[in-house]
Each structure stands twice: as structure tokens, then as C-alpha cells.
Amino acid sequence: MPRSHKEQHRTERIGWLRAAVLGANDGIVSTASLVVGIAASHASRSAVLVAGVAGLVAGAMSMAAGEYVSVSSQADTEAADLNRERKELATDNVFEQQELASIYVGRGLEPELAGQVAAQLMAHDALAAHARDELGISEHLSARPVQAAFSSAGSFAIGAALPLLTVFLVPESKLVIAVSGLSLIFLAVLGVLAARAGGAPVLKSAFRVTFWGALAMALTAGVGALFGTVV
């Protein structure tokens, strides 16, 4: 008797993985850039820490709010499409079955077989069949606003805590170099972990996040040094 099993696919991780990677990346880049910019202006360690902590709190809340609003809008659109599909199934079931069959024909099935598949799927769960094959909405890919908000806020806070921890551990005179260097390492590690979790090329992912992180820190360090000299 064959064993039944449920395969785990990476597409099931898209929702939380996207929010977590985006949050952690933003946490590291924005907080490290803020810390580097203020440190480059020759501010004291306490001033750097205050700015960094404020950036962590503000950034985490901003990420949570942004993700919640964005994903909620997606969820509202999905709900509206499902409601419309539900009404169409109630008023013209025959046409909806033909529409579903035409989708399967377009994917390579013979018309007769496509009609049989459409009929059986609609007999089982018509709305689910149309949601999945016509609208592209599935259980694993549907919008989850609260999950996205918490994932983004939590991962941002974790990412932002890494540069702040560096500020505690290194001498004040070495803050710019230490925070920049260690933050780039953190970003590279994040890129590798995200690539492995999502099945993407590791080197490409790591280079992508470290490049933009380095650019952001370089620009803010330049601005901090300039204003620290002028003001």
C-alpha cells in the first residue's frame, strides 16, 4: 500500500518569508545607516544609541503598519473577486463550468477531458476551483495581513538590534568602521539564509543585499561627516 505524504513546497513560504526578509534587511540597513551617519558627525555614543533605538521603534512600527495596510488591500481585492465569483456561480453555473474547462484546454488538456475535469472539480467545490484556477488565489498564497505585519515588525527589530549591539561592544572611535563592516556581514548572512529558505542562488542573493546596504551606509556616512563638519 503506497504511503501518503504531503510535500512541502517553497511557495508555501512566500508570504512570511517575504515579510521577514524585507523586515530584517530594512532593520539592518536603515539602523546601521542611521548609526553610521550620526557616528560620522562625531556624536557621542549615547547620542548614537538614542538615535538608533528611536530608529528601531519607529522603523518596526512603520514596517508593521505598511505591511498591514498593503496586505489588507490585497485581501480586500481577493475577497471582492471571490464574492463576484460566488454570484456568477449562483446565476450562470453552466457558463462558469465552460469557462473553467477553457482554462484547462489552454493548459494542454483535450476539450473532452477538460470538460470532465471542470465538472468534477466544480461538483466537489466550485468556488475553490475557480479561485485557484481562474483567479490565482489559493490557501497558501492568500493574503494574511496580521501575519505579514508581525513578521515585518519582529524581523525589523531583530535586524535593527544587530547594529545597536555593535555600538555597545566597540570603542567609540571605531563605531563607523565596526558598524559598517559587521552590518555588511549580517546582510550577507541574511541573504544566504533567505536564498536557502527560498531556493534561490546564494551568491546572487548575498551580493544583492550587501551592495545596497553598503551604498546606503556610504551615503549616510558622507552626509554625517559633512554636516558634522559644517554644523
pLDDT, tens digit, 9 for 90 and up, residues 65-98: 988 888 888 888 888 888 888 888 888 888 888 8
Q: 102: alpha, beta or left, given left = phi > 0 and alpha = psi -120 to 50?
A: alpha
- 3-state SS, one letter per residue, for 71-107: HHHHHHHHHHHHHHHHHHHHHCHHHHHHHHHHHHHHC
Q: Position of cell 485581501? A: 75
Residue 167 has pLDDT above 50, yes or no: yes
- The values of phi and psi at residue 222, to 5°, are -65, -45
* Gap between the Cα atoms of 33 and 136, Å rounded: 39
Q: What pLDDT is recorded for position 5?
A: 47
DSSP summary character for residue 173: G
**pLDDT above 70 as % of the chain:** 86
C-alpha cell at 105: 484546454
Q: What is the pLDDT of residue 230?
A: 42
The neighbour count for residue 101, using CB atoms within 10 Å, is 22
Which residues of the chain form beta strands (DSSP E)? none
- 16, 131 contact by CB (below 8 A): no
Q: Are 211 and 60 in contact (CB under 8 A)?
A: no
Q: How many helices (H) and strands (E) does the chain have?
A: 7, 0
Q: Is the pLDDT of residue 188 over 80?
A: yes
Q: CA-to-CA distance for 135 and 156, rounded, in angstroms?
A: 32
Residue 196 has pLDDT above 80, yes or no: no
Taking a C-beta distance cutoff of 8 angstroms, is the pair 140, 7 a contact? no
Are the beta carbons of 3 and 27 closer than 8 angstroms? no
Q: What pLDDT does 1 receive?
A: 43
What integer is the mean pLDDT of 90-119? 86
Q: Count Cβ atoms below 10 Å from residue 149 Cβ, excluding itself.
A: 23
pLDDT of residue 50: 92
In this structure, of 9-13, 111-115, 116-120, the range with the lowest mean pLDDT score is 9-13
Task: Quick: pLDDT tens for 1-53.
Answer: 445 445 454 445 555 566 677 788 889 999 999 998 898 888 888 999 999 99
* H or E segment to which residue 159 belongs: helix 145-169
Quote the DSSP letter at residue 139: T
C-alpha–C-alpha distance, residues 20 and 187, integer Å: 13
Using pLDDT thresholds of 50, 70 and 90, give the confidence band for residue 117. confident
